[in-house]
Amino acid sequence: MKKFISSAKKINRTRKKINSKINKYQRKSKRIMREREKALNKRRRHIENIENFKSISVDEMNGEQFEYFLGNLFYKLGYKVNVTGITGDFGADLIIQARDGQKIAIQAKRYSTKVGIRAIQEISTAKSYYKVNATAVVTNNFYTDPAKKLAKTNNVILIDRNKLINLIEKSKQA
């Protein structure tokens, strides 16, 4: 009888430990889900408010606003758009997909000076991470000569201020 009671106590202790771990993981899971929902809501607000960017010059936007502006621009041009996130984006700010299935990783650079080789290096590493067909860097400015050379070597598409203006005009017609 003592053996039975001792075994029952061990089983109860084990059950309590298991239940405690389950509760811990459930709380952690709920917290993660709340954080994800919060991030999604933040993205939704940015997308819902994207029309406000019409009154803001691209040069006045911050980096995050510029990323969402580009996401909206490419969406209007017929692409499926995925914003990778503000930090930990592995070199790409947007992943866009054309109707034919081609995926392009995009690095958004809203700079007050010319874009250098670092942006080209960052997007070049993103190609294999995101398993995309092509890569591009989009800026509201222009590129340094070394950046242009490196982009050509790595087959990186460069969209400078003039090309960006053309894309914006094209999106208004779409």
pLDDT at 109 over 80: yes
Please give the average per-residue pLDDT across 123-137, as a whole number: 92
Distances (CA, A) of 111 to 29, 64, 87, 108, 135: 39, 12, 18, 9, 19
Structure tokens at 27: 């709380």
pTM equals 0.68
Looking at residue 128, what DSSP letter applies?
H
Flag whether pLDDT at 55 surpasses 50.
Answer: no
Flag whether pLDDT at 82 surpasses 70.
yes
Question: Distance between CA 61 and CA 41 in Å, rounded?
Answer: 20
pLDDT band, residue 22 (cuts 50/70/90)? confident
Whether 70 has a pLDDT exceeding 50, the answer reads: yes
* Residue 47 confidence (pLDDT): 47
Quick check: 18 pLDDT over 90? no
Low-confidence winner among 32-36, 40-44, 167-171 (lowest mean pLDDT): 40-44
Q: What's the confidence (pLDDT) of residue 138?
A: 96
